[in-house]
Structure 1
Amino acid sequence: MKLNSLTIIAAALAAGLTSAVAGNITGKVTLKGTPPAEKEITQLKDDANCGKMHTEPVKTRFYVVGAGGELADTVVMLKGISGKSTGASATPLIVDQKGCEYSPYVGAVQTGQSIVIKNSDPVLHNVHTQPTVAGNEELNKAQMAGGADLTFNFGKAENFLKFKCDVHPWMFSYVTVCDHPYFAVTGKDGTFTIKDVPAGEYTIVALHRKAAAAGMEQKVTVTAEGAKADFTLEVK
């Protein structure tokens, strides 16, 4: 009886150890094909206040791509996971309005995670959220030059939830809201890291507003050594 008890305890400890194993998913997103040339934002250039904040032409950011096809602003996340959000305790995402542009242009948060909007410009902006998923509230708040930060959070998962400025209609930012912490946004080098993913098999999806709005998926198996997941998206 004592031996059986020890065996049961050992098995339980082993199971707990297995469930605690986690690894990082790393990868790179590359764009295949030549994207359309980005266009100068003439509305910004011609604006009496915003135009003088820049010494060089400001262009659209539909495809931020490197010389080797490295694709920025791609949201990479696990699919089919819900109810795992730790957003209430997560570090806020900071979105700044500077030079009459939103930065970052593309971001990602968890449900319940704060999105803090700053205004570093010497002009009035308004922050107008335009969700498409029921349960995420449309809000429209003015933000004076040097005014207090504005904080938003959303309770439902949604891809590319739009933030815009009605005062300056070329200003947009897109924030994807996930119901779990397993996501990342690619940088200018096209790479990403999704940290501390519990060991197991998953579907991982890459989302890009122009090249993969519906997402590109693949299977990935995570171990203590991590996992690799590269994507090649095509110009649409």
Structure 2
Amino acid sequence: MALLLAAPLARAEPGSVQGEVQMSVMGPDGKPQPKADRSGVVVYLTGYTEAPPAEVAHMSQRDKSFVPAVLPIVAGQKVEFANQDVVLHNVFSRSVAHKFDAGKNRPGEKYVETFSKTGIIDVYCDIHEGMVATLVVVPNRAFAVTDKDGRFLLRGVPPGRYPLFAVHRRDEKSDIARAEVTVEEGRASTVTLQLVETRDADAHLDKHGKPYGPRPEYPSQGSKGN
């Protein structure tokens, strides 16, 4: 009797999502106006999860700024914060999604933190008030950061219908654009998202919840710590 072998099930070819984020800011008259530079917006899908990549993501402290100022990662991924300046730095967050404090870091020192849960995480330096960044922790690898024209491309998306989000480098209370997108096998879906910046300044408190005051920024003996 002939032996019948079952053919393996064919896996659906992934699709992609491309499009544009149209941004506006509130003008002096209180009305929204188009924003010329639409870079730095994180666009991502939810609805399914993927394991985080093995590689560590990187955010540097350079020229008293976080570089990059916005960093999307997958839940469970590690981020290395490296002090590439000649002054002391700190990395902390008081965001609900993930609270942490790296203490004082000397020039050349690195700090690694694992971010296990999805969410938007505001990152600051407790020494330099003007240093502000955002981590966007997403559930899968279908994410991108827009270019200056607001364009994005998400590759390798399984066929299905998903919520699509866009968030700028702002705090958790600011505007997040949302849409629904249907991804078909082997095809590209096109979406336009509308995002309004609702916050003009990055005013925030220090890691103790108090206003910033003068802080020593150059290394000295015993400078490592809180």
* Structure 2 length-normalised TM: 0.73
The 1:123–1:33 alpha-carbon spacing in structure 2 relative to 1, beyond 3 Å, is closer
When you count helix as a share of all residues, which structure comes out higher?
1
Instruction: Name the SS of the counterpart of 1:87 in structure 2.
Output: coil
* CA-to-aligned-CA distance 1:139-169 (integer Å, 9 cap, x gap): 2322111x2321111111112x021111111
Give the aligned partner of residue 72 of structure 1: 39
* CA-to-aligned-CA distance 1:8-51 (integer Å, 9 cap, x gap): x35x52xx332xx1122111111245657xxxxxxxxxxxxxxx
Q: 1:219 is matched with which residue: 167, 172, 180?
A: 180
Q: Point out where structure 1 has 5 or more consecutive residues left out of the alignment.
A: 37-63
Q: In 1, distance between residues paired with 2:66 and 2:196?
A: 26
Query: How do 1:68-217 residues align onto structure 2 when only pairs under 5 Å count?
Result: 70-81=37-48, 84-89=49-54, 91-133=55-97, 136-145=98-107, 147-159=108-120, 161-208=121-168, 209=170, 213-217=174-178
* Structure 1 length-normalised TM: 0.71
Instruction: Name the SS of the counterpart of 2:11 in structure 1.
Output: helix
Q: Percent identity?
A: 27
Q: May I ask how many residue pairs the two structures share in their alignment?
A: 191
The 1:177–1:33 alpha-carbon spacing in structure 2 relative to 1, beyond 3 Å, is closer
* CA-to-aligned-CA distance 1:65-106 (integer Å, 9 cap, x gap): 42xxx512212111333xx232251x3222111111111111
Q: Point out where structure 2 has 5 or more consecutive residues left out of the alignment.
A: 29-33, 199-226
Q: In 2, distance between residues paired with 1:111 and 1:184?
A: 15
The 1:33–1:164 alpha-carbon spacing in structure 2 relative to 1, beyond 3 Å, is closer
- Please tell me the root mean square deviation across aligned C-alpha atoms, in Å: 2.7
Q: Tell me if structure 1 keeps the 8 A contact 2:26–2:197.
A: yes
Instruction: Name the SS of the counterpart of 2:100 in structure 1.
Output: coil
Q: Tell me if structure 1 keeps the 8 A contact 2:46–2:140.
A: no
